[in-house]
Structure 1
Amino acid sequence: MRHVTLVQLFDHPITQKYVKRSGMAHAIACAYHAFQLANVHGVDPDRATKAAFLHDIGHYTWYRNGKWDYDLYKEYDIHAIKGSERAHKLLIRLGEHPKFAKEIALAVLLHTDSYLPKGYLELNPLQHVVALADNLDEEPGGKHHYRKITDERARDLLDRLDQKINSFYENNSMKHSM
């Protein structure tokens, strides 16, 4: 059973403020990638799409002299840490199961290792899917954060993805009930 839909996340003012700032088109593309990857990696598609959709909710805008500074971002950003906290709080407020909210928040936290000291990080399957989904949509210089999408189109795409997730659950419950 799903507690919170992607459209409910999209409609929330926190998502509107922070996911739009980091790139709504990118977030939605990552959610679609995560849906496909979830099937391949045996991961729950609801949690995967939510984590992928919210993975950049913690972005801060790094500017120098009124212009975006990608080097400052790469050097000092900790958006995954802030995003994990923000995503968790948002999911709990909307009524997500606390266990799932924690799993999603951890996947947001670990979708990138750019803020960690060099080393090897072992991800669980959900975290791996979210990191892969983000990598699939990246463009050089962070350009993926600047693609535009209308609210109407964004909401429609998320509604379609919600329907796909619901169909996944319906098909799986039918298999288990036979």
Structure 2
Amino acid sequence: MRQVTLLQIFNHPIAQKYVKRAGLAHAISASYHAFRLSHEFGVNPDLAAKAAFLHDMGHYTWYKNGEWDFNLYKENDIHAIKGAERAHKLLVRLGEDRRFAKEIALAILLHTDSYLPEADLNRSNLQRVVALADEMDEEPNGRHHYRRISEEKAYEKLKQLDGMIEKALYERKLKESV
């Protein structure tokens, strides 16, 4: 049984601040991609959607002379580290299972390798799903972070995804009991 829904996360002031700053439309799109990919990779769709929704909550905006500077961002960004910390704290505060909160935080930490020295990452399937979901929604020069979505539409899309997750978890449980 799920202890925390996407709508509960969305409604929390911390998520409101940081997910919106990083791009609410992107977070929701990545969540849908992660949900779809979760079946293919055999991972929990709830954890995948939550990690994808929160994956960029560590973003900081990098400006130079009042203009967004993508190169400055690429050179200095550690958003995955900060986002993993914020997401873990938020999920625990909301009552998420602590093991799940850790798995989600690790998926956020490893959704990108942009801040790491050159190396091949050995990602878990959940971590792969979140990284792929993010890549599927990317636009050149970070434009995906600036797409807009209304509060009402965001709420409806997350409510719909919560329902899809509930159904998938129920079907998964039925399969396991057979």
Which TM-score tier does this pair reach, normalised by the shorter chain? over 0.9
| Cα distance in 2 for residues equivalent to 1:6 and 1:95 | 13
Per-residue CA distance 1:69-111 (angstroms, 9 max, x = gap):
1111000010000000000000000000000000000000000
- Residues 84-99 of structure 1 mapped to structure 2, 5 A cutoff: 84-99=84-99
| Cα distance in 1 for residues equivalent to 2:176 and 2:85 | 35
In structure 2, what is the equivalent of residue 2 of structure 1? 2
| Cα distance in 2 for residues equivalent to 1:174 and 1:107 | 27
Per-residue CA distance 1:105-128 (angstroms, 9 max, x = gap):
000000000000011111000000
Gaps of 5+ in 1: none
- Residue 136 of structure 1 and its aligned partner are, at CA, apart by 0.2
Please, what TM-score do these two structures have when normalized by structure 1? 0.98
Per-residue CA distance 1:5-51 (angstroms, 9 max, x = gap):
00000001111101100100000000000000000000100000000
**Alignment-mate amino acid for residue 167 of structure 1:** K
**2:162 is the alignment partner of 1:162:** yes
In structure 1, what is the equivalent of residue 62 of structure 2? 62
The 3-state SS of whatever aligns with 1:133 is helix
**Alignment-mate amino acid for residue 155 of structure 1:** Y
In structure 2, what is the equivalent of residue 31 of structure 1? 31
Gaps of 5+ in 2: none
**Alignment-mate amino acid for residue 73 of structure 2:** Y
**Which consecutive segments of 4 or more residues in structure 1 shift more than 3 A?**
none
In structure 1, what is the equivalent of residue 74 of structure 2? 74
In structure 2, what is the equivalent of residue 116 of structure 1? 116
- Residue 149 of structure 1 and its aligned partner are, at CA, apart by 0.1
| Cα distance in 2 for residues equivalent to 1:171 and 1:98 | 24
- Number of matched residues? 178
